[in-house]
Structures are given as C-alpha cells and as structure tokens.
Structure 1
C-alpha cells in the first residue's frame, strides 16, 4: 500500500466519504493538511474569516444534505469557528471542522507557543458532538469514522478532528476504511400503536420540524390521509407550499397554539420542540399537546419532554411506515377549514409592520420562484419566521432561531450557492448583521456565484431598539452607522441597486439581479424615499 502523509490520508479519507468541497483559510498550522488537496479534485473555497468558513459549511450542508467541511488553524482558527459550530448544533446541521493543534509534546504546558490554548480539545468538546484527537498516524481513520458517524445515524451536528503539527506530516500505511453506522430500526409495534391512535382521533395536528425536510410528498399524503393541518417550524417551511392543510406560521403565535391545543392527537415529526420556535415570546409555557406522538432521530431528544408515544426513527421512515399502516380512506375532520382559519388569524396577529414585510417576501418568491432564501437576524426574517410560506422544501433557513448568531446570512448563502449552482440564491441581511461578515462577499466574487445580497437597511439594530423601547429602557448602542453600500459594491466590482420597501419595486429589482449571473447587492432602504439608482 502506498504510504501517505497524515495530511494526504486525511484528504483521501474525506474524498472516500463523499466530500467534494472544503472551506478554509490556510495557515502555518494547517500546511500539511493541504498537502493532498490540490490533486484530490476536492474544491477549496477561501473565506475571509474562519467564522465565515463555518457558516459557509453550514449553508452548504443544509442545501446539499452532505456534511459541510471547514479547515481551520490552531487556536484562533478554532475559536473563530466555535460560533458556527454552535449554530450548527442548535439546528442539527452536519459539519466537520478539521483543525491543527500544537505539537504533541507542548500541549498543556503553557509555554506560550504560537496559537496556543490551554486545552483546545476540551474547548472543542463543549460545542462539538464529537471531538477526536489524532495522537498517532494510525488513529486517523478511526477518528474520521467517529466524526462522520452522527451524519448518517442519529441527530447530526458539528464534529471536530484535530491533528498535532508533529503528526500531520508523518506517514502511515492506513488507507480509507469507511464505516457507515446503520439507521435505528423502526419498531413495528410502535407504528401500529401510533396508527391506531391517529385513526381514532378526530382532530389531528401534525408538527413538522427540520428533521422532516426529507419527507416530501409522503408528509403531504399523510396529512391528507388524516385530514390534519401541518404546522411547520422555521426549518420545515416549504414542505407544504400552497396546500389547503398547510400552516406556515410559528407555533409561538396564539392562533397556532389554539389550533394545537384544540387537537385530540398531536404528531410531532423531527422537531425538538424548542422555545425559539414554540415559545419565542418567552411566556414560559408550551402549546398544549394532547396525545403527543413524537418521532425523532435522537433518542436523547425524545427523553427531554413528556411524550405519550416516542418513536426513535428518521421522520421520513416513520411517515412511510404510518402510511402503510393507516386505513386507505381519507378522514374528514374539517382539516382544511381549521388550517385556513389558523392561517388568517395568525397573519392578522403578527401586526401591520410584519404583514408589510411578509408581502415583500411574497413578492420576492413570485419574482424568483424556487429560490434559496438564506437569512440573518433581521426584521423581514423575523416576520417570515412568524408567517411565510416558501415554495421550496429546505429553501428558507436563517440564524434567527436556535443559537441566533448574527453574521450568518452572507457566508451561509455562499455555501448554499456552491451546493446548488443552478439555483437562485437570495441572502437577506440587515445593515447591522451584514457588517459582521460583509467581506465574505469577496468569496462570492472569487467563486462567481449568482447571489443577490439583499441588505435591509434601517440604519441600526431596529428590532433591538424596539425591544428596549417596549420595556422602557433608553435606547443605547442600536445605531451603528452603516457604510454606503453602493461604493462597497463598487469596491467588490459587483452590481448595486437601491429600492424602497415596496413589494413590486423589490420584485422588479430581484428579477434583474437574478439575470446577471454574478453576485450583486440590492439595498432595501426603509428610512425614506429611494434615491436614483447608482
């Protein structure tokens, strides 16, 4: 067997496991990890900051369904990537971070070596599902197996492999020996019990979470068989676009809580039932869920909340089994009427300002059908998370739930565009959040990605300012001056336009930018009349 350095073996191991793209910034502590990359056929994308590498890997993973991979240096490279790892963990996104670490004999000594941390491995363990340390060349393949295991069985999230400087350049005879864990087997008895309870119920409600994104048509067929409205969390939007049984609204809204509370059986599919979806107003309570049947890939997640019937399974496998077990005839429980009433009440409940922003989102969807809309924490994203019906499963995602990291949108949109090169991508970021990661747009320029970076410019942290005012706190620190985005776009060498917050104006501008085939910036100015386009 041909001898390879550990760095070369790492690249070969990644390729053997289906990796086709890595995001990273080379540094003196990762040079050996790059040794085999150029000849491997694996694409390398260079962000402008390691946080960008992690968020790009996140966006790539959400769209491709494959783990996003980031290469980062020891110390600051790893710490800069912890925020994206935490976001990925909150949203169950498969991500592998490969880092260097100082030479084995120096670890924990505190001698002050370049990029030294007291215990990098322990730090990574606080966020990663698995953090593997490769102490010897022969340990690499086992470390990769451990790191990839959560991506194919169980609840995915970020994992980490670190390779010391003195190990990365040494040689080993190990070759790729890929081990793929099996999915948990379905329990036929549980499916039979669940089918019986669902058949007997007169008002079923289905809760669809991000874990149900792969269910596609089967989820629609199940909802029709049960005549059950389907409430979708943020990460499930697009699964039931335009369907009479769809409820594309937050279960934190009173109207949606009423629908769930009126059910005599609730079927929760691939949702952690977390407060950023179900209690975003911090009431301290969850919607009442009678006869709760819960399906989740994570056994630990199933144990965290009281459930009448917990089924350990991928959502798509459980849905398929339920369809086979349920009677073929369709129930009639006024599901469409219940869903329609909830949609109307929920849309009214979000208020006039958010309704206006949702109308802009609707116009964007009509102007560029089947686009990927990737968002940061900004007002139209908050509005859409409360109520918005996207037209593509998995095509609406953002960082305003779960960990809630600002600066996510721009780099995540880049990862998404690389994963789906023939799909239009729209990044929705506020002027405040955009300033966290604005330089990453140059990576989109380098890669020639057709992304419209839509900057929602209210000249500050408008949502936070409103929150401070609502509780009588004087507004402080919420008005950072944004740059002039026209000159910024010119410095990037990309097109720029600015329009007011009017649905048709935004739609017309998006139609034009989507034709360009290049990155562009579209500024939405909500503070006054739009000046002439530049």
Structure 2
C-alpha cells in the first residue's frame, strides 16, 4: 500500500523539490518512511526555527521553495518566527506538519503536542493554511501551494496532515504534478498609461525591491533607456552591477535621498512595498512623492497601499519591465541629470559615514572582492546595517539578511546553510554578531554534520551593540545589552569546526584566500573593538 505520507514525497519530487529540512518526531515518522529511498535530501537542524531559516535561505538562493517537515505543536510554535521572516520578505516556503487525529482536533483532551487550533496559530504568517481531511485532497492542495509560489506574491504555505490521514491509503491517487499557471503580465492599457507618464520625463527615478529580483536584465535595460537613477532595497541588491553609473547607494531613508525623490518628475516603483525599514529607517517620516508614481507589483494590495499608484501595473516584474521597454518610444535620453545626481547623492552618503562605518564598509567590500562571487547572508548586526547603506552586491540574490522587514535575530547562520545547499559551488558567508549567533549557534554542528562549507564570519563586540547604541542615543540606562559571550574558539572546537581570528583587513584577506573552496564550515572571528581601532 502507498500511504498518504509516501504519496506526499512522490508529489514533492515531481514538483522539483530536492531538499527537506526537519527534525523527526513521533508524529512525523510516517513522513520519514516516505523519505527513505527517495531522491530528496534530508537536513537535520537542531531546532525547528533553524529549519525554517534554512528553508528561507535555500529558497532565496535557489529560486525554489524551501520545504520543511515539522511535528505537531511545539514544532509549529518553534518555526513561526522563521515563517514570519519569510512572510515579510515574500519568500516561498512550504511547511508540512502533522496534527492530531481528526477525531481529537480542538477537543482539549490532553493528547500529545495538542494545540487548540494549530491552523489559527500560524494563519498570520502564511498565505494559507490547510488541514488535509483525506488523501484525495493532497494533489490539489499541493498544486495550489506551488501555483502560489510561482504566479503571485510568494509567501509561506502551511499544510497540516492529521495522524490518521497520514497513514491512509493513497493507492488511487494520480501522483503526477499538475500543470501550473504562469505569472500574469500587466494589462496592455495599464502599460500604455505608464508609458504616457514616463516617456517624456526628464528626471525619472526607479525604486526596485525584492519583487524584481529575477528581472535584473530588464531593469538595467529600462534604466539605461530612460537614464534613470536606480535605488535598490536590501532584497534587490545586485540587480544592477556594482559599477553601474546609475546605481544609488542605500540612500532611500536619508535626507539627500529624499531630495532626489523630490526632484524626480516620474517615479517607477518595481516590486517594493515602500516600507519603513527600507525607506524610513532614520525616522524622517513616510516617504512622499511629488511626481506621478507608477507601481509595478504582483500584489494588488501594494498597488493600492498607503503610497497609492497614479498608474498600477499588476503582474510579473520582468514581463512588466519588458512591456514598458517595448512600448517606450526611442529617444535620446539626457544623461546629465542622472549622472550628476547619482554622483552627488552617493558622495554625500559616503562623506557622512563615521570612521567606524567606513571600517565596517571596508570589511564588507573585502569579503566581496576577495571571494569569487560570494553570497553574503546576514543577521541583524552592525556590519549588516552598514551594508544597507553601502554594500554593492556582485549579482542578484547574493546579499540578503534579517536586518530589515521582520528583523529577527538568529537568522544568519541557518539561512546561510540553506543558501550553501542551494549554491554549493559559490562561497557563502554568514555574517553574524556574537549576540545573534547565540540564538542559533547549535546549527553550526548541523552544518558540520551535513558537510556544508559555510564561512561563519563572526563580528564579536561582546554585546547587543546596535541596541546599546540606540539606548545611549535615547539616554536610556544600559540594561541587558552588555552580555557574557562564549569562548567562540571552544564553541567551534566542540562542534568539530575550525576557528580562525582576523585582527585586521590584511588578516581577513589572507584568510579569505584560503577559504573559497571549502566543503565544511569554518568560523572566522573578528574582534570588533580591535578591528575598529586599527
């Protein structure tokens, strides 16, 4: 007999899933019966939150949904933070969990791992949550999940399977994957309306977010046609090459960036929420637009959001950008305004950095320039916040972190493990502070066990330094931020992982030259106090 759990694994294989993250439990053993002998690789994190972060990093680096197998009850409560981060950043994640038998649901009889309503608990951090009532529903529900990932705003999906359903026969199911719809293109009349607004603009501006991360070529071509400066959010870094003359540094929240926005006579926002953590990080107030605003987005709620569009283009970013290119009249754009403003705004940005900021920026640039096409996955830590202002990623999807949006701690290391599994031939760096690492340090031994060659770049300032600085700025007495940290060399040794120290940029360069082709994790510890003093 083919059980429902085994049918699930076969369907996942059909949809191209290659890796599953999860911790076996008594409520998921039937899923593991299905995994045995399949083509799917199973990775065992040390905490379900780590499983979710690994799936997140895998999805961002691969473009495929990250998949988790999670037990009922505590497994689901553990993974919710990771689902919240993925929800905020529009990351496709498929969380498959168990739940108690159908006849036991919502009765409160004290069964193992029982929750009053597991679906209600996760509803706020997923696109949808479904309880499978019979194996016959499985093909349709999985098809819905993969359709959502591919043709609308991707966010986590939760499917829970009662224990009795998991063990039921699925012999009569058609286990072939269903044909999935393509993402829609914006309507023709909307494209015409957008072209009418931007075709004669003398000072156009483009704001691009994570929703455009698979439209790099089209975005660059449109920017060059219009001679429009381009500002990229954290999740859009790398959509223009690092040396591109139209590329603005991370000025979206700064006063000089606001001045540039005010000067524009047409603004095209592509795949961006125009949210606080990208556009108002310094508390200047919500960004406003004097010019007509064109919003290209797969999510209609964004087009109708607080920053309402003059013209809304509902659909896939790449298709929308290509349609604009096709219909824009050929004209010789004046590059003077763009080149002057980009140079001026970037110069103001760099001149405003403190010595500490410049030093952290040098660390980021050293990592980028001394590893071949590195992928940097960050936690919420000081060098990552500096990177939001000045890091120029070499390629799309090669710089992402938890420093914006939901803003969790503990993300960097497990997400980097997932990214390395998705991109095994590229160097992957987890940039993590000592405080954030203590949220998920157990995943270091999971990386060792799985043979995942992540470079853990540890920024050690023996504190929650970003919060300490914020408390100082607000004249709040310091409490709870100067923390006792582990002996990280001993921690690495206990996880069977090599440990190195980089005292300065020269030492870091030398180390990086030895670490671009490793097949197991390594920790590189940077003493922030010493590094910033040199």
TM range (shorter): over 0.9
Aligned partner of 1:415 in structure 2 is: 418
Which stretch shows the higher mean deviation, 485-494 or 521-530?
Answer: 521-530
In 2, Cα distance between equivalents of 1:151 and 1:449: 26
Cα offset, 1:289, TM superposition = 5.0
Any idea what SS the aligned residue of 1:463 has? helix
Aligned partner of 2:73 in structure 1 is: 75
Any idea what SS the aligned residue of 1:92 has? coil
Cα offset, 1:287, TM superposition = 4.1
Distance 1:529 1:34, change over 3 A: closer
Aligned partner of 1:13 in structure 2 is: 11
Any idea what SS the aligned residue of 2:500 has? strand
Distance 1:529 1:124, change over 3 A: closer
Aligned partner of 1:175 in structure 2 is: 174
Question: How far does the alpha carbon of each residue in 1:33-76 deviate from its partner, in whole angstroms, 9 at most, with x for none?
Answer: 22221222011111010000000000000010000001110000
TM-score (norm 1): 0.96
Cα offset, 1:180, TM superposition = 1.3
In 2, Cα distance between equivalents of 1:366 and 1:185: 37
* Contact kept? 1:411, 1:440, Cα under 8 Å: yes
Aligned partner of 1:323 in structure 2 is: 325
In 2, Cα distance between equivalents of 1:179 and 1:46: 31
In 2, Cα distance between equivalents of 1:210 and 1:51: 23
Q: Choose which of 521, 524, 529 in structure 2 pairs with 1:522.
A: 524
Pairing 1:284-299 to 2, within 5 Å after superposition: 284-288=285-289, 290-299=291-300
Pairing 1:229-268 to 2, within 5 Å after superposition: 229-240=229-240, 241-268=242-269
Aligned partner of 1:468 in structure 2 is: 471
Question: How far does the alpha carbon of each residue in 1:492-519 deviate from its partner, in whole angstroms, 9 at most, with x for none?
Answer: 222211122x333322222222244321
The reply to whether residue 206 of structure 1 matches residue 209 of structure 2 is: no
The reply to whether residue 380 of structure 1 matches residue 383 of structure 2 is: yes
Distance 1:197 1:22, change over 3 A: same
* Contact kept? 1:234, 1:250, Cα under 8 Å: no
* Contact kept? 2:185, 2:316, Cα under 8 Å: no
Cα offset, 1:286, TM superposition = 1.2
Distance 1:378 1:472, change over 3 A: same
Cα offset, 1:345, TM superposition = 1.1
Question: How far does the alpha carbon of each residue in 1:154-204 deviate from its partner, in whole angstroms, 9 at most, with x for none?
Answer: 100111000001110110211224241332232122212212221111100
Is there any run of 5+ residues in structure 2 with no aligned partner, and where? none
Aligned partner of 2:136 in structure 1 is: 138
Question: How far does the alpha carbon of each residue in 1:193-231 deviate from its partner, in whole angstroms, 9 at most, with x for none?
Answer: 212221111100100111111112221111110010100
The reply to whether residue 302 of structure 1 matches residue 300 of structure 2 is: no
Distance 1:387 1:287, change over 3 A: farther
TM-score (norm 2): 0.96
Aligned partner of 1:119 in structure 2 is: 117
Pairing 1:135-534 to 2, within 5 Å after superposition: 135-172=133-170, 173-176=172-175, 177-240=177-240, 241-288=242-289, 290-305=291-306, 306-334=308-336, 335-500=338-503, 502-528=504-530
* Contact kept? 1:131, 1:160, Cα under 8 Å: yes
* Contact kept? 1:452, 1:510, Cα under 8 Å: no
In 1, Cα distance between equivalents of 2:505 and 2:191: 46
* Contact kept? 1:132, 1:147, Cα under 8 Å: no
Q: Choose which of 101, 104, 126 in structure 2 pairs with 1:103.
A: 101
In 2, Cα distance between equivalents of 1:131 and 1:254: 42
Cα offset, 1:97, TM superposition = 0.3
Question: How far does the alpha carbon of each residue in 1:433-489 deviate from its partner, in whole angstroms, 9 at most, with x for none?
Answer: 000001101121122122110110000101100100101100100022111111111
* Contact kept? 2:185, 2:320, Cα under 8 Å: no
**Number of residue pairs aligned between Structure 1 and Structure 2:** 527
In 1, Cα distance between equivalents of 2:19 and 2:305: 35
In 1, Cα distance between equivalents of 2:4 and 2:498: 44
Question: How far does the alpha carbon of each residue in 1:319-361 deviate from its partner, in whole angstroms, 9 at most, with x for none?
Answer: 1111111123340142122111111112223433222211111
In 2, Cα distance between equivalents of 1:491 and 1:506: 23
